[in-house]
Amino acid sequence: MEKNDSIKKKPRNKFIPLLALAVVMLWLKTYYIQKTQFKLDVEGSLQEFLLFINPLGSAILILSISLLFKKKRKYYALLAIYFAASFMTYANAVYYRFFSDFITLPTLFQTQNFGDLGGSVLTLIQPTDFLFFADVLLIGVIVFSKRFEKSTHTFKKRAVVPVMTAALAISFFNLALAEGDRSDLLTRGFDRTYIVKYLGLYNYAVYDAVETVKSSSQRVLADSDSVTEILNYTKSNYASPNEQYFGAAEGMNVIYLHLESIQTFLMDYELNGEEVTPFLNSLTRDPETLYFDRFYHQTAQGKTSDAEFMLENSLFGLPKGSAFITKGQNTYQAAPAILKDKGYTSAVFHGNNATFWNRSEIYKAFGYDYFFDIDSYKADSPNDMAEYGVMDKPFLEQSEVLLESLPEPFYTKFITVTHHFPYKIAPELTTIDKATTGDASVDNYFQTARYADEAIEQFFTYLEESGLADNTMVVMYGDHYGISDNHNRAMSELLGKEITPVENTKLQRVPLFIHAPGLKGGVDHTYGAQIDLLPTVLHLLGEDTQKYVQFGTDLLSPEHEELVVLRNGEIASPEVYSIGDVFYDPETGEPIDDSKLELAEKLKEIGNYELELSDQVVNGDLLRFYTPTGFEEVDPSDYNYQIKPPLPVYEAETDAPVTAK
Ligand code: GP9
Ligand code: MN
């Protein structure tokens, strides 16, 4: 009897059931919103499962913070947290309706986004939106209702630990499964959509906050003095233009074709006696095409985005992650902005989501006028879609009319995707057999390469027929390897030679073609790399580069130093390769003899110094302290990629545009 009495006297704790109810409601609501309000491209049961469980760990974690509040305050804390989480989710849903993207902290503070949203925010809100808050109302009613007896019990801090530990355990389990499906998810970033799909909106918000703080702290520590050392270096490294080529493409349009995963070993390679890339091969012998056969990619984790970053800025990508993702708010002096002064209109064409690699943000910082993403393309059949967007043939074909909507001269970039790992292609689209090494990645590599080659040929034919070819310079580069060194056994079988360390480095070569009417072409054996593209292209367009902070040099300049610095600090040059801790002779593939050691060490030191200085520029956002004379600084808020130029109108008979451009 006495015992029972004492139980009755204990404060009745109704908080835990309320907390549990809140967790379940927030979890299920967030899941429902993630599933219905965003385009997350969830594929397969594992991804479905992850989408379902990913709000759970966070819901427990954030709502259980209320347990730390004393007495009745925990009820109000619970309501406040619940409301904040709901508001954040709702804000993302509204933002997504307009931008097809998730809110990031830096963009939140960009006035332009509110400018864009400002007038239209009311049109984005739908009458049914109150449902987003129906559950908040329910919790509010329970919390404030007099009929509901609130417990005055204060939980010991210790008691909260197991709850939070359980929440973290669920989140880590979630992360482990996600990493299994998509490795390097957090280190490389890829796309905000991926983070939300795999880890949920709340974890995405944490990820975004951590990245923002990391990035801005590096930025805060930098000061304007640091620019001096950089400028001293880039000025001393400058290579003056080759008179024969300077201005050879002056006033011409520029078309960059970003060749996904195309490697130099493919050029003139025959699989079972058949050329894999006959069109590109023919260009290596074209009198108006310069073909560089010792040109290297320098990408790291940022892959495609690293390649783009280098060619637009002549700055190295970062050793970890992607500068596109973490440095999207920096100040740049990129090609589109440099060429604006010469009257160029700039645009990117890419049949994938605009947010992939944070392109829709960083392109603004580069000064790109237009960005045609997947929304500008259609896929008529499933065969028109590759894993990362529209297949190259329909992509390039549909790009033609978009290209013609631009005023000339234009500076453009077309990013292909079909020849992307794992090189999937419908059998009816293939025109060459697979290889037969037994290593699937290697075997499939050739069919999509052939397809890409055909797509490029088709595009060249269009350029000829439309007349654009008469006034356009086309630059084509492989972005990075497609076959990593995990596949060297199969590669050795296909190439008929042992893949020594030097051969392995040589496999990091990607082709570079520069084609323009009247250009003196030929095969150029100069050692060079992606970092050198910008000064090379600018000099061909007749633009001097001396005043810019660029780490590459003009490949055509007699002063160009033949030193390739790979992103991991290894080097390749006609004299020496450094791989791991060993220096090799490029000809024999053997370690060098002592007579070359001093030179080798010096080259490696220069390489590492360059990487270090470039990283300082990117991490410290140093270009904000230096504006070259005559260069107009980019204001990203001037750009809005929802706006497209008007399409040309064609006369039915002649197919020629009738509207003035
Ligand atoms: C994605 C495409 C592929 O839009 O550019 O990027 P990658 O995986 O090659 O870095
Ligand atoms: Mn790529």
Active-site annotation holds for 304: yes
Catalytic residue among 89, 107, 234, 304: 304
Structure tokens, 574: 């006609």
Within this chain, do residues 189 and 229 fall inside the same structural domain, yes or no?
A: no
Ligand with the closest atom to the CA of 452: 2
* 247 domain-assigned: yes
Q: Write down which residue in 174, 192, 219 finishes a domain.
A: 219
**Distance in Å, CA 303 to ligand 1 centroid:** 7
Contact by Cβ (8 Å): 559, 243? no
Which sign, positive or negative, has the C-alpha torsion 95, 100, 102, 107? negative
DSSP-assigned letter for residue 480: S
Within this chain, do residues 233 and 206 fall inside the same structural domain, yes or no?
A: no
Within this chain, do residues 206 and 144 fall inside the same structural domain, yes or no?
A: yes
Residue 281, class by beta-carbon neighbours within 10 Å (0-12 exposed, 13-18 middle, 19+ buried)? middle
Within this chain, do residues 289 and 211 fall inside the same structural domain, yes or no?
A: no
601-604 contacts: CB < 8 A, separation 24 or more?
A: 603/563, 603/571, 603/573, 603/575, 603/576, 603/578, 604/569, 604/571, 604/578
Within this chain, do residues 54 and 79 fall inside the same structural domain, yes or no?
A: yes
Within this chain, do residues 200 and 313 fall inside the same structural domain, yes or no?
A: no
Within this chain, do residues 206 and 254 fall inside the same structural domain, yes or no?
A: no
* 482 domain-assigned: yes
Within this chain, do residues 42 and 71 fall inside the same structural domain, yes or no?
A: yes
pLDDT tens digits for range 129-154: 999 999 999 999 999 988 888 888 89
The Cα-based distances of 279 to 265, 276, 382 in angstroms read: 15, 9, 26
Within this chain, do residues 332 and 437 fall inside the same structural domain, yes or no?
A: yes
Angstrom distance (rounded) from CA 253 to CA 474:
8
Residues with CB under 6 A from ligand 1: 303-304, 352, 356, 388, 415, 417, 420
**Helix H or strand E segment including 365:** helix 359-366
If you search the block for the tokens 């429902």, which residue do you land on? Answer: 32
Cβ-proximal residues to 45 (8 Å cutoff; 6+ apart), any chain: none
Angstrom distance (rounded) from CA 223 to CA 227:
8
DSSP-assigned letter for residue 661: -
pLDDT of residue 6: 45
* 637 domain-assigned: no
Which sign, positive or negative, has the C-alpha torsion 411, 415, 416, 419? positive
Q: What are phi and psi of 420, to 5 degrees?
A: -115, 140
State how many domains the chain has.
2
Residue 256, class by beta-carbon neighbours within 10 Å (0-12 exposed, 13-18 middle, 19+ buried)? buried
* 648 domain-assigned: no
Within this chain, do residues 309 and 370 fall inside the same structural domain, yes or no?
A: yes
pLDDT of residue 184: 87
pLDDT of residue 569: 94
Predicted structure pTM score: 0.85
* 195 domain-assigned: yes
Domain that holds residue 408: 225-629
pLDDT of residue 110: 59
* 646 domain-assigned: no
pLDDT of residue 388: 93
Minimum-distance ligand 1 atom for the alpha carbon of 306: 10
Low-confidence ranges of the chain (pLDDT < 70): 1-13, 109-120, 651-661
3-state helix, strand, coil in the chain (%, to 5): 50, 10, 40
* 277 domain-assigned: yes
pLDDT of residue 104: 84
**Distance in Å, CA 420 to ligand 2 centroid:** 7
Strands 577-579 and 571-572 turn out to be: antiparallel
Minimum-distance ligand 1 atom for the alpha carbon of 420: 9
pLDDT of residue 659: 52
Helix axes 15-37, 192-221, angle to 10 degrees: 100
Within this chain, do residues 208 and 261 fall inside the same structural domain, yes or no?
A: no
